Amino acid sequence: MHRRTILATLAASPLLAARQAKADTPGVTATTLKIGNTAAYSGPASAYGVIAKTEAAYFKMVNDGGGVGGRMIEYDSLDDGYSPPKTVDQVRRLVEEDQVAFIFATIGTPTNTAISRYTNGKGVPLIFLGSGANKWGDPKNAPWVMGWQPSYRTEAQIYTRYLMKTKPGAKLGILYQNDDFGKDYPAGVKDILGADYDKLVKTASYEVTDATVDSQILSLKEWGADALLTAATPKFAAQSIRKTGDLGWKPLHFLTNVSIGVGSVITPAGPENALGIISAAYLKDPTDVAWKDDPGMNEWRAFMAKYMAGADLTDTGPVFGYGVTYSLHQVLKQCGTDFSRANIMKQAASLNKLAVPVLLPGITVNTSATNFHPIRQMKLQRFNGKSWELFGEVLGGADD
């Protein structure tokens, strides 16, 4: 039988017709599923690069187990240097040239802000992106965009409620990155303080291109702040902690959850300078002895030993990377064999009390057609000089 005849015979089969239909779905072939990502492997937020490396390792684990929906995952992750213009170029390449099925876990608020209108307009899922900006939970206006971690605004509300309870009338200084990531923190504080905001709060912003935040920290100290909220990425968070120590200033210090890594932030800042800092957690801390025999963290440690050998086990980045990819894995399993963009988005918005091994007890992943904020609760924690210690109950923000 000639080759042309073989092809004609196969073309008449329902199986091949189905495969041809799948071939018309971007990023999907009969044997592969291509996922796109950009990450800060270089630049001012390069500490986050390990997250994408963890995601790639997780996908290798999935492929070693036979893939998902009969397909092997191809993870196309490109460096954007935490530079929004570069993110735009890289995402356009992923969508238009590499033909990925969707974009997953892109790191950073300014970078995701630069691409979200484009991906949403193209009907390309931008899911479980690496930013807690409150705006990523807007299914009405951005039906193809979904975050994963708790909203920064919710986090700030939790800190403010604690401050009002423990130090009523305290003056709060806020150091924040001048973008949608940083601005969510003053907004969350204002949600709680209301009319008292202007008399109790002073803010100081910085640009991601700045060399240091030393002058901003000094200005907040001189204003007379009793408490400090640092809403900064790891490099600048470490600078903030070190500068308060250098000044001998000991405010009640709150630190954004995105910069609590002992290896990437606390150690460079000097653990002695971080003593007593309060943050909010939704992930288990790999340095906390409370999780020494925890089944979920043992699962993570086994994964790290096999697929991320040599990585820093005190860093929270790989914990985040594992948790967010575990959540995506569930979405892909729910897709069955239909990896159309519409079904991927539908399943991402259909997670019900998903228990993720690295999430704190009592916190689950929940989404729906009207809820694009998958994780809505956190728990307070305090740095004891070596690790973070949880205290109090699981808390929600103003809407919970």
SS in 3 state form for 161-200?
HHHHHHCCCCCEEEEEECCHHHHHHHHHHHHHHHHHHHHH
User: pLDDT tens for residues 375-385?
Assistant: 999 999 999 99
Q: What is the pLDDT of residue 301?
A: 98
User: pLDDT tens for residues 63-79?
Assistant: 999 999 999 999 999 99
| Mean of the per-residue pLDDT values of the chain | 92
Domain count, the chain: 2
Residue 338's region, left for phi above 0, alpha for psi from -120 to 50, else beta, is: beta
d(CA 174, CA 186): 7
Q: What is the pLDDT of residue 396?
A: 82
Same domain, 132 and 209: no
Q: What is the pLDDT of residue 15?
A: 41
d(CA 73, CA 59): 6
CB contact set of 252 (below 8 Å; sequence gap of 6+): 163, 166, 167, 170, 226, 227, 228, 276, 278
Contact criterion met (CB below 8 Å) for 191 and 153? yes
Closest alpha carbon to 400 in 150, 208, 174 = 150
Q: Would you state the structure tokens that stand for residue 192, as one six-digit string?
A: 């709680």
> Residue 150 has what DSSP assignment?
P
pLDDT, average across residues 304-315 = 95
7 — pLDDT class (breaks 50, 70, 90):
very low
Q: How far apart are the first and last CA of the chain?
A: 68
d(CA 371, CA 373): 6
Is the pLDDT score of 49 beyond 50? yes
Residue 11 is assigned to a structural domain of this protein? no
- Rounded to two decimals, the pTM is 0.82
Same domain, 49 and 146: yes
Whole-Å CA distances, 355 to 84, 147, 214, 359, 374? 33, 17, 41, 7, 12
Same domain, 273 and 388: yes
Whole-Å CA distances, 99 to 35, 36, 102, 224, 339? 9, 9, 9, 54, 13
pLDDT, average across residues 287-311 = 96
Same domain, 166 and 206: yes
d(CA 277, CA 291): 21
Identify the three-state secondary structure at position 66: coil
Whole-Å CA distances, 352 to 227, 330, 358? 38, 11, 17
| CATH number for the domain harbouring residue 129 | 3.40.50.2300
Residue 249 is assigned to a structural domain of this protein? yes
Q: Which domain holds residue 102?
A: 23-150+295-369
User: pLDDT tens for residues 196-236?
Assistant: 999 999 999 999 899 999 999 999 999 999 999 999 999 99
Same domain, 136 and 160: no
Q: What is the pLDDT of residue 398?
A: 67
Q: What is the pLDDT of residue 174?
A: 98
Whose tokens are 């708790």? That residue is 150
Residue 126 is assigned to a structural domain of this protein? yes
Determine the Cα angle at 315 with ends 312 and 320, to 5°. 120
Whose tokens are 């937020």? That residue is 45
Same domain, 207 and 318: no
pLDDT, average across residues 104-130 = 96
Q: What is the pLDDT of residue 4?
A: 33
Same domain, 143 and 163: no
Residue 125 is assigned to a structural domain of this protein? yes
pLDDT, average across residues 117-137 = 96
CB contact set of 121 (below 8 Å; sequence gap of 6+): none
Residue 16 is assigned to a structural domain of this protein? no
Same domain, 145 and 158: no
Is the pLDDT score of 23 beyond 90? no
Same domain, 274 and 300: no
Residue 197 is assigned to a structural domain of this protein? yes
Contact criterion met (CB below 8 Å) for 398 and 387? no
Q: Say how far residue 203 (Cα) sits from the centre of its chain.
A: 25
d(CA 116, CA 54): 23
Same domain, 160 and 144: no
Same domain, 122 and 29: yes
Residue 184 is assigned to a structural domain of this protein? yes
Residue 96 is assigned to a structural domain of this protein? yes
Determine the Cα angle at 108 with ends 213 and 184, to 5°. 70
Helix H or strand E encompassing 252: strand 252-255
Q: What is the pLDDT of residue 400?
A: 57
Same domain, 171 and 268: yes
20 — pLDDT class (breaks 50, 70, 90):
very low
